[in-house]
Amino acid sequence: MAHTFDTVDIIRCKRDGGVLSTEQINWVIDAYTRGDVADEQMASLAMAIFLQGMNNDEILALTQAMINSGETMDFSGLGKITADKHSTGGVGDKITLPLAPLVASFGVAVPQLSGRGLGHTGGTLDKLEAIPGWQADISNDRLMEILAGPGCVVCAAGAGLAPADKKLYALRDITGTVDCIPLIASSIMSKKIAEGTASLVLDVKVGSGAFMKDLAQARELAETMVTLGNNAGCATTALLTDMNTPLGCKVGNALEVAESVEVLQGGGPADVRELTLALATEMLTAAGLPDADPAAALDNGQAYDTWRQMITAQGGDPDAPLPTAKHTHTVVADQSGVISELDALAVGVASWRLGAGRARKEDPVQLGAGIEIHKQLGATVHAGDALFTLHTDTEDRFERALSVLNDGWKVSNDAPPVRSSVILDRISATS
């Protein structure tokens, strides 16, 4: 008979800086998933972990316990090597959209189980739902069929995959315990390991628009997740990438789909293309294709063809017009100079206030809402030049959006430091 622990003893142990045993962690996660541990008790334990941290053995045990709480997927019969990517979230982070079909166009299966946006960070499923007819919810059988065909699927994770994480994340979101490295790492990696992909590349964002605000914190998270993945037999690497300014020139659901299509057709903003190619190279190398040329696949239409097949396979019409907002408002420069500040968080919150995001998971989003950025950080501008165009269906949202956006940009005579690359570092098992 399995040992039964006292929940309060486990909370006290972690509260006082103690180390939880694997047996304690297994028991409390299983009991919480079944409803035998109350929400207020798990909230207390989450706060204790937030304040006291966890060592590597505890994080490994927590991750495995959440994997064991539900089903796991198996792609061994697919006949293709699998590779996946996960981003910790940011502003204008549309990379999954061009990346999945780009990698799949080389014969690699990409099972991209994605989520929705919350607050200032956008969600991949919300973006793709801007495409008329596209469906986020598909069965496991249909997922396997599409992976065997076009080779890439972007869809919602099934309820049976790491249900303990789903329950715990909802609790963390309302108890101030989201930004905790042990809890973030175990949350992300339990889902990705349960997903069953052979390899994984992590895009860990750093900066004002990311959950990790400084490089040291982001590096610790990346190293923790890389260790968890490789210990579980999933070849895992991570890139640390800059999220102090928005990624690309468009923020918002339909706007980001349009920009992703530009990248798939060989164009698009330089930073979006750079990061897409860097992550594709990581995924293709892990899949045994180190000599593949992803840049050529963007430029010659190979990746775009796979995109069209992927969208069609999930019920979408790749030729249909994307939703547009009913109202627009343009912000212009009040003086000549250089864009010396362009804050990702301010742009993300403004886009959210326009209707592109949600405050609660059940809230609807406006598919056409968001912000177009006409002048990037470091650009020279003249008085009267258009800097941003705001989009929304609800005209009275402009005032609240502008109140935060206008504090997030600056035109001055001082040019900001030149950002040579959006990629700050690479973390591997041997780093």
Give me the active site residues, please.
Answer: 86, 165, 172, 187, 191
Other C-beta atoms lying within 10 Å of the C-beta of residue 410? 15
- Are 171 and 144 in contact, with CB atoms under 8 Å apart? no
- Are 355 and 393 in contact, with CB atoms under 8 Å apart? yes
Instruction: Supply the angle between the helices 163-173 and 22-34 in degrees, to the nearest 10.
Output: 80
The two tokens of residue 318 are: 């790749």
Through-space distance between the first and last CA atoms of the chain, rounded to whole angstroms? 42
Other C-beta atoms lying within 10 Å of the C-beta of residue 162? 31
Which helix (H) or strand (E) segment is 349 a member of?
Answer: helix 344-351
Alpha-carbon distance 422 to 206, whole Å?
10
The two tokens of residue 278 are: 């860097």
Other C-beta atoms lying within 10 Å of the C-beta of residue 413? 9
Which residues are CB-neighbours of 361 under 8 A, at least 6 positions away?
A: 116, 118, 170
Alpha-carbon distance 250 to 291, whole Å?
32
- The widest CA-to-CA distance across the chain, in whole angstroms, is 75
- Which residue's entry shows tokens 């189980």? 113
CA-to-CA separations, 209 to 66, 129, 213, 377, 422, in angstroms, rounded? 28, 23, 8, 15, 14
Alpha-carbon distance 382 to 133, whole Å?
42
